[in-house]
Amino acid sequence: MSVPYRIESPSSNAVGDKIPASERIPIIARPFVSDRAKKTLDIVEKFVEEECIPADAVYQAQIGDTVKERFDAHPQIVEDLKKRARELGLWNMFLPANHFKEGAGFSNLEYGLMAECLGKSVIASEATNCAAPDTGNMEVLAKYGTQKQKDRWLKPLLEGKIRSAFLMTEPEVASSDATNISLSMRREGNEYVLNGSKWWSSGTGDRRCEIYIVMAKSDPSNTNPYKQQSVVFVPFDTPGITIKRMLSVFGFDHAPHGHGHVTFENVRVPVENICLGEGRGFEVIQGRLGPGRIHHAMRSIGAAEKALEWFIARINDPRKTPFGQMLHKHGIMLERVARSRMEIDAARLQVLNAAIMIDSKDAKFALKEIAEAKVLIPQVLMDVLDRAIQSYGGAGISQETPLASMWANGRTMRIVDGPDEVHLLQLGRNENKRGPAMLERIAWQKAKSAEMAKAYGVEIKDVLQLDRLSTSNKSRL
């Protein structure tokens, strides 16, 4: 197996960086990272920096220009990089060791460090078979699939031979609340009949996408709204399925992958295609978003690092000297660099902490940390990208740098993974449960102050009189 380009590393570490990724792991995470993972992490970093990022531009060029060309394309560079990744032992790193035998055997933390590297390139995730939505879909098949379903779809997915899509969101309903999902699924004999439409079905544009994992309403009259839905495996070429159009993201078509608006008209699939069982759709989507819940956040840290790299490169460009000096001589830029550095470092700790929490038990145990990561990391990415874009002036919002398309991608993260508001409400509600206890604590401390003041013969003015408020309303607490 060989690739048509020359591989030549200018240094023992990834180009331009003296310290390899394994030595930059935050110190609080290091005890949880195995030697094998550290070695692999350094290989991932070199692969991304020296092969995938340079290949991104080739990939874009190989996709072509017209809509037809773009959605028919399967750039050769992807297949060559896949071969290369396999030679390097970089394959399916995303499937966590403690849950799946099919993966490369890394923990969520270990994969999180690798995913950060992958997040710096457009094609690195696909090249290593760690791209969404296949990752979540493989988790579904590995976790809930029957042997027959696994043989038919999981095996080729794990080998990177086919791709897949997850169809939950619908144009007619607010899909951030999955109880609203209404594509109808009716049983007729040994078949299910599906009618309705889906959109934002990522991956449906790719001609290698062979399997749709579809959430549908199978039991609309069930009194438990969480038992009304089912998930079913639908081959992409089943009669009655039409891809009406592809949606764009701020004008980017994301071809050949794409995001389809797909209609189902009397689409028939055998009952054996059910996932887990009728009425168990919520279990499946929750399981699907198990460890993979923070993959986007992990990659976004890498994207933020890349934005900062481009930012620093721009402010050190000797050809561009507004008002007589390079941009880094203008103090405001250094402040923005410093803020970006701090925010990325804090965000990384946050996402790695969430990964460690998941590894220590499961995704349920880490609900708070996962929600925090989903809100915080996209925000940090947006802020860093915005500063980097600003430093390039007009070039920053054009196709001349990767920053504009990274911004468009990054902005979707505040919606794709469940809108910010949903996570914020969950976090806020849980945090607010401490209200009565906090009132009680402050009242107690105030009362203690009064007692101490009395002992010392001083007077404390307490305008709010929280001690009285709390004790007089104690029955309400």
Ligand X SMILES: Cc1cc2nc3c(=O)[nH]c(=O)nc-3n(C[C@H](O)[C@H](O)[C@H](O)COP(=O)(O)OP(=O)(O)OC[C@H]3O[C@@H](n4cnc5c(N)ncnc54)[C@H](O)[C@@H]3O)c2cc1C
Residues lying near ligand X in the complex (CB under 6 A) are found at 133, 166-169, 174-176, 200-202, 249, 259, 412, 415-416, 418-419, 421-422, 425
Whether residue 43 contacts residue 84, with contact meaning beta carbons closer than 8 Å, is answered with no
Report the C-alpha gap between 140 and 59 in whole angstroms. Answer: 29
**Shortest spacing between CB 458 and ligand X, in angstroms:** 48
Q: How far is the CB of 404 from ligand X (least distance, A)?
A: 16
136 within 8 A of 288, measured Cβ to Cβ: yes
CB of 149 to ligand X, least distance (A): 19
Amino acid occupying residue 208: R
Name the residue nearer to ligand X (CB basis): 402 or 418.
418
In our burial notation (b when 16+ CB lie closer than 10 A, e otherwise), range 306-317 reads bbbebbbebbee
Task: Pick between residue 133 and residue 145 the one whose CB is nearest to ligand X.
Answer: 133
Q: From the CB of 11, what's the least distance to ligand X, in Å?
A: 36
Nearer to ligand X, 41 or 294 (CB): 294
Distance in Å, CB of 166 to ligand X, minimum: 5
Cα 442–chain centre separation? 39
Q: How far is CA 204 from CA 59, 265, 409, in A?
A: 19, 17, 18
In the bound state with ligand X, the residue whose beta carbon lies nearer, of 182 and 238, is: 182
Q: Give the CA radius of gyration of the chain.
A: 26
User: 169 phi and psi, to 5 degrees?
Assistant: -65, 140
CB 248 to ligand X: min, Å: 10
Q: From the CB of 413, what's the least distance to ligand X, in Å? A: 9
- Which residue lies nearer to ligand X by CB, 81 or 231? 231
On whether the CB atoms of residues 229 and 218 are closer than 8 A, the answer is yes
Rounded Cα distance between 143 and 125, Å, is 21
Between the alpha carbon of residue 366 and those of residues 114, 360, 380, the distances in Å are 20, 9, 21
Q: Which is nearer to ligand X, 176 or 242 (CB)?
A: 176
Locate 368 and state its tokens: 């708070």
Nearer to ligand X, 11 or 432 (CB): 432
Q: How far is the CB of 419 from ligand X (least distance, A)?
A: 4
- H helices of 276-402, in order, are 281-288, 295-315, 331-360, 367-391
As a whole number of angstroms, the distance between CA 438 and CA 442 comes to: 6
Q: Which is nearer to ligand X, 288 or 348 (CB)?
A: 288
